Amino acid sequence: MRTPIVAGNWKMNKKASEAAEFVGTLLEAGIDKIEGVEAVVCPVFPSLPVVAELCEGKNLFIGAQNLYFEPKGAYTGEVSPEMVKEFCQYVILGHSERRAYFHETDEMVNKKIKAAFAVGLIPILCVGETYEENQAGKTKDIVTAQVKADLAGLTVEQVTGMVIAYEPIWAIGTGLAASGELANQVIHDFVRTPVAELFGEETAEALRIQYGGSVSPANAEEFFSMPDIDGALVGGASLKPDFVEIVRVAAQCKA
Ligand code: 13P
């Protein structure tokens, strides 16, 4: 049995004071009392300390949105795995926005995943195809290639314990979510199956795979009722109290 995981990727939103107020709202709404699901919030770096303090001892986990793979040194503007680990349990890596705007390659993502594991952080690896790739029938090639390259050299134990988010780029921030069935098919055929081939059936069965892209309280059930979808990586809707509802639907669907 895989424990569902719903993570809120706040992207570049909410300064520390806003983050603190919002986490207060989530806790008041009982997000940490929902059983059978892991809820994660992923603020910007400067908001991590205050959010970590508010979540201490609570059933609400914290993720960063990035890290650099070197442990320390002359890398102006970057944040090391150890620095992230001080406040977080999770770290989102390889998000399509980082790949597109900051030129992150699979090789860099692979290094970051290894660096995260080296300090005990759990990576949430993002993969997904663009609209053009999708229309050209390349979803399988793109997603499978990302999975293979990003997970290269990892151990069975590492892959078993990590999280992958399938986020079709055309569904991110567009309001045009994939259908539950399509997302489930891509996740099963192009993520879980290649993981089984590379790391074995048991690993693939244990690995948690999220869907991401325009998830909202209105469509959450469509995704969480699918057998291969173990949660969601939520952008826009994670900035609002709506997020609690999405976490609740995940708990209900997977109970
Ligand atoms: P939206 O939920 O806003 O589409 O964003 C998805 C996403 O990119 C989460 O990482």
Q: pLDDT over 90 for what percent of the chain?
A: 100
One-letter amino acid of 60: L
One-letter amino acid of 216: S
Nearest to 92 by CA among 72, 75, 109, 77: 109
Q: 236 Cβ partners below 8 Å, 6+ apart?
A: 173, 214, 216
Whether residue 218 has pLDDT greater than 90: yes
**DSSP H or E stretch at residue 48:** helix 48-55
How many A from CA of 183 to the centre of ligand 1? Answer: 14
CATH placement of domain 5-253: 3.20.20.70
213 lines ligand 1 (CB under 6 A): yes
CA-based end-to-end distance of the chain? 10
Task: Write out pLDDT tens, residues 102-119.
Answer: 999 999 999 999 999 999
* Ligand 1 atom 2, closest CA: 235
Assigned token pair, 184: 């489930």
Whether residue 169 has pLDDT greater than 90: yes
What's residue 83's pLDDT? 98
Average pLDDT along the chain: 98
What's residue 228's pLDDT? 98
**Residue 1 confidence class, pLDDT cut points 50, 70, 90:** confident
Domain range list for the chain = 5-253
235 lines ligand 1 (CB under 6 A): yes
Task: Write out pLDDT tens, residues 189-199.
Answer: 999 999 999 99
**DSSP H or E stretch at residue 121:** none
Find where tokens 């895989």 sit. 2
